Structure 1
Amino acid sequence: MKNFNSNTANSQEWLTPPDILRALGPFDLDPCAPVSRPWDMAARHYTVLDDGLSKPWQGRVWLNPPYGSEVFSWLERLADHRSGLALIFARTETRGFHRTIWAKAHAVFFFCGRLRFFHVNGTQGGTANAPSCLVSYGDDDTASIAAALDAGHINGRLVLL
């Protein structure tokens, strides 16, 4: 069993599709925002220059963490914070997924098909190299997923834990 959520070897930043943000938002904080971005993911942003993992988190968090060995550190932080949603690859077999999601989350939403993320210049990229999921650690955030699903803004399966 792997212990990390791996992306390809590239170092490009990939942005959440804006229609997903509109369907699930608004959010107060994005602690993993790109330095340069074509749209805001939340009212406040921390970038790699700020080290959002070490900064205080307040309000509802949008978390599209850097993929790699540190992804589960970000999810631990969101699990402790208890307010917000994370968008990650659905690597359900990893130790980190078992430890930070199956054991702590309120719900997981599995997208039907693979997402197409965006480049920091605002253009849409290719299809992701793995399936994605949303992770909720509280009732209100699970309700926002359910409302977006019911309205047809997202397509997939919501699993309550």
Structure 2
Amino acid sequence: MSAAQSRVTGMGGHHSARAQKDEWLTPPEITQALGPFDLDPCSPINRPWATAQRHLTIEDDGLASQWLPWEFVWCNPPYGRETWKWLAKLADHPAGGIALIFARTETSGFCAEVWDKADAIFFFDQRLFFHHVDGTRASANCGAPSCLVAYGAEAVRRLSRYERAGSLVTRWRRAAA
């Protein structure tokens, strides 16, 4: 897999050294429960199910592409340093949206793009099982805690009605350094 192809992943190479790949899909029950979504700017080229009405793939360069101002976004960005660029764009997007990322709460990116900008965060009680690009569920969990990050009132509303084991955080104040 080329570096360009691995960029489209929703799940980074941290998943497992044994996995031998970087491309992983969001469990479909998540987007089904939180949708519908107008745009998925991080969609794989070949997908077994739709996550939004409009999909941008690596061929479209979803990060550089225009997101229409009215599109409510689902974003499972490539994991790693580039994650924060996607969240910065989502945080500035007028219609808002929801992102699925690792709950790396101590990182500078999480502080800048989540703690400082998000309207709500849903922390899953258990680690997720992502899916292979053919749609089959991975045999092992992702190996790290995940969270959903809400930007905008509609995103907060959707997370507040989400019926999955976890904790929804809607108010916080980050202490000054």
Equivalenced residues, count: 153
Larger radius of gyration: 2
**The one of 27, 31, 48 aligned to 1:38:** 48
- SS of 2:161's equivalent? helix
Gaps of 5+ in 1: none
Tell me if 1:64 matches 2:67: no
CA RMSD of aligned residues (A): 1.5
Tell me if 1:140 matches 2:150: no
Q: Is the 8 A contact 2:123 2:146 kept in 1?
A: yes
Q: Kindly provide the CA deviation profile for residues 106-134 of structure 1, in whole angstroms up to 9, marking residues without a partner as x.
A: 01000011000000001001201100000
TM-aligned CA deviation for residue 6 of structure 1:
6.2
TM-aligned CA deviation for residue 7 of structure 1:
4.2
Q: Could you state the TM-score of these two structures normalised by the residue count of structure 1?
A: 0.90
**The one of 94, 114, 120 aligned to 2:107:** 94
* Counterpart-to-counterpart distance in 2, 1:36 and 1:114: 25
TM-aligned CA deviation for residue 23 of structure 1:
0.6
* Counterpart-to-counterpart distance in 2, 1:134 and 1:91: 12
Amino acid corresponding to residue 53 of structure 1 in structure 2: L
Structure holding more strand per residue:
1
* Counterpart-to-counterpart distance in 1, 2:47 and 2:13: 20
**The one of 30, 33, 46 aligned to 1:23:** 33
Tell me if 1:105 matches 2:118: yes
* Counterpart-to-counterpart distance in 1, 2:134 and 2:50: 13
Amino acid corresponding to residue 111 of structure 1 in structure 2: F
**The one of 149, 156, 159 aligned to 2:166:** 156
* Counterpart-to-counterpart distance in 1, 2:127 and 2:102: 10
* Identical counterparts, % of pairs: 54
Gaps of 5+ in 2: 1-10, 172-177
Amino acid corresponding to residue 47 of structure 1 in structure 2: T
Amino acid corresponding to residue 141 of structure 1 in structure 2: A
Amino acid corresponding to residue 37 of structure 1 in structure 2: R
Q: Could you state the TM-score of these two structures normalised by the residue count of structure 2?
A: 0.83
TM-aligned CA deviation for residue 12 of structure 1:
2.2
Amino acid corresponding to residue 106 of structure 1 in structure 2: D
